[in-house]
Amino acid sequence: MRIAVCPGSFDPVTNGHLDIFFRASKMVELLIVAVFHNPNKKPLFSMQERVEMLTIATQDIPNIKVDYFSGLLSDYVKKQNSNVIVRGLRALSDFEYEFQRALLIKKIDPMIETIFMMTSNEFSFVSSSGIKELAKFGGPIDGLVPTCLKERIIQRIHES
Numbered residues of the known binding site for ATP: 9-10, 17, 88-90, 98, 123-129
pLDDT for 89: 95
Name the residue among 88, 91, 113 with its Cα closest to residue 103. Answer: 113
pLDDT by position in tens, the chain (length 160)? 899 999 999 999 999 999 999 999 999 999 999 999 888 888 999 999 999 999 999 999 999 999 999 999 999 999 999 999 999 999 877 899 999 999 999 999 999 999 999 999 999 999 999 999 999 999 999 999 999 999 999 999 988 8
What lies within 8 Å, CB to CB, of 129 at 6+ separation is none
pLDDT for 41: 80
pTM exceeding the 0.75 threshold for the entire prediction: yes
Name the residue among 87, 119, 8 with its Cα closest to residue 53. Answer: 8
Q: In this structure, what are the phi and psi dihedrals at residue 57, rounded to the nearest 5 degrees?
A: -70, -25
Say which CATH class 3-124 falls into.
alpha beta
pLDDT for 37: 87
Which own/partner pairs from 47-55 qualify as long-range (CB within 8 Å, at least 24 positions apart)? 50/9, 50/10, 50/11, 50/12, 50/13, 53/10, 53/12, 53/13, 53/146, 53/149, 53/152, 54/10, 54/13
pLDDT for 160: 81
pLDDT for 99: 94
Numbered residues of the known binding site for substrate: 9, 41, 73, 87
pLDDT for 92: 78
pLDDT for 39: 81
Residues annotated as catalytic (active site), given as ranges: 17, 41, 90, 128
Four-residue CA torsion sign, 20, 74, 84, 51: negative
Residue boundaries of the structural domains of the chain: 3-124
* Helix or strand holding residue 75 (H, E): helix 73-79
